[in-house]
Amino acid sequence: MDVWDDGGEQAHPARATGGVMLPTKRARIARAAAASPRHDPEPHDPAAQGLRIDVRRPARNLSTAAEQVPVKEYGGAVVKLEQVLAEAPFQAAKVIPALEMAVPEESRETQGEGQDWGKSRHLPLLRWLMIAGTSVGGVIVAAMATQELMLAPKPKPPASHLEVVEESKVVEILGFELDGPSEATARSLLAAYAKATTPEEVAPLIRDAARLTPRLSQDWQPWHAPADWLPARSAEWQISADGGKPHGRLSGRRPDFTPYRVYFVREGEALRVDWEASEGLSSVAFATLERGVGTGGIIRAYVAAENFYSQAFPESEYHSYKLLAPDRELVIWGYLKLDSPAAPALLKVFESAARDETAPADLPITLRLIPPPKGAQKNQWLIGEMLHIDWVSP
């Protein structure tokens, strides 16, 4: 039950301090009315005052503030509540600026899409060129190293047991050595031979000069070497005793760059050029043999084993060989009977060459040819004898 009197139409007294007094309780108002009707209590009498609401506020223009105070009506009586001042935006006493966090530079491997998305990772052009050049150089070096490893001879696996190696027979080559005075003498002799301009200048330098002097005038050809010409250092010096005659050989190129193979033999104490072996001379010309003219003769040729047979030379009775001229321009065919004494010797030579990976496909051999049987072609001849291996006569 509300015990507060609404006060009717009486004005609520206000204090000078700005407070507002509410009406007194009904009991008190009733007793006062009984004693004296329409008697207002003294505004300043504390006993006659009701509940007072005192709002403290900063000093300001009351008349202006009173106009802005919202009005609330309680039971017909108007009560003006003081408007709360609008608070200003909060402002800290001191603003601490945000510190920038130092982010350590991360390597490309730790960069992620979330934190590095949108960042440019393009390297400068110069850096790209340096990286590309280094990569290409590395590839080239790797390729060269790989090629060297591929070309290097593969070591043989160690034998699981001891091998008995037969002692090889070393053929003593009298008057010749791989590295010694014989090579120097041969080079000086070859220089004099190349610079000679007449057969008379050549005769003292060759082997069997007395026998070959008539042929020199017919078959010798000058080299036309300049006065200061010498065999190149790259000219290969080899020694051999094949055919029963120790000899040395220089291989290189003439002043006109055509190849040469010059043989040297000992005649007494002096070193001489084997002119017949060096020029590959035969007793009959290859052109004559190719035409099928004559009865054959002694030839110096490059010989290679072949499988070319015919009705006149069946495989069941002959071995087939290709015979090339010393200049390798002309070819004839030679056949050796299986029951000939020369057959096993010549077969052994080619079997040995087949085991030697460095041996050429054809070998210089001196042969004696004889007429072929009937039915043979013009360039087919019968091998009557193998005189010696290589072109140096014993």
Question: How many other CB atoms sit within 10 Å of the CB of residue 364?
Answer: 22
Regarding whether 310 and 220 lie in a shared domain, the answer is: no
Distance between CA atoms of residues 246 and 265, nearest Å: 7
Regarding whether 322 and 290 lie in a shared domain, the answer is: yes
Question: How many other CB atoms sit within 10 Å of the CB of residue 124?
Answer: 8
Distance between CA atoms of residues 229 and 223, nearest Å: 11
Predicted pLDDT of residue 385: 93
Can you give the CATH number for the domain in which 321 is found?
Answer: 2.40.50.140
Predicted pLDDT of residue 269: 87
Distance between CA atoms of residues 3 and 118, nearest Å: 76
Read off the pTM: 0.56
Predicted pLDDT of residue 123: 53
- Decide if 62 is inside a domain: yes
Distance between CA atoms of residues 4 and 24, nearest Å: 6
Of the three residues 245, 261, 279, the one that is the final residue of a domain is 279
As averages over each run of 10 residues, the pLDDT of the chain (394 residues) reads 51 51 55 51 50 54 51 54 50 54 51 49 65 76 65 50 42 73 94 96 96 93 95 94 90 94 93 96 95 95 94 94 94 95 89 77 93 94 93 93
Regarding whether 358 and 275 lie in a shared domain, the answer is: no
pLDDT, tens digit (0-9, with 9 covering 90-100), for 45-68? 554 455 555 555 555 554 544 455
- Decide if 32 is inside a domain: yes
